[in-house]
Amino acid sequence: MSEISFDDFLKVDIRVGEVIRAEPYPEARKPAIKMWIDFGDEIGERKTSAQITAHYDPATLVGKQVMAVVNFPPRQIGKFMSEVLVLGLPDENGEIVLIGPDGEVPTGGRMH
């Protein structure tokens, strides 16, 4: 494991957003879901895709608060431009479980 400085950590802008729309992404190489996430007034709405179909379907994601890195450059994922990176952890089978706050917090809040 390589060490980073605290200043390096502060460069990563991790925010909480609320999924406002989600739909299947059948064109992806691996099963995925496209999401549109509201990060509040300062950042606004951003979109992403994630390989999270083992634990989630689009209908259950709407209204869910998730954590995401919002200051990476956009990345082309197939025919879809991903603007943020949602964060998650693998379960015992390697399937991703999203990270979010334990309780309701204001949309757009930055992780400290």
Tokens of 32: 């995925």
**Cα–Cα distance measured from residue 59 to residue 79, given in angstroms and rounded to the nearest whole number:** 22
Where does the pLDDT of residue 101 fall: very low under 50, low under 70, confident under 90, or very high at 90 and above?
very high
Residue-wise pLDDT tens digits, 7-34: 999 999 999 999 999 999 998 889 999 9
How far, CA to CA in Å, does 83 sit from each of 25, 29, 35, 48?
16, 19, 10, 6
The domains located in the chain, with CATH, are 12-98 (2.40.50.140)
- Global pTM reads 0.94
If you search the block for the tokens 């991903």, which residue do you land on? 82
Q: How far is CA 24 from its chain centroid?
A: 15
Residue-wise pLDDT tens digits, 22-78: 999 998 889 999 999 999 999 999 999 999 999 999 999 999 999 999 999 999 988
pLDDT(1) > 90: no
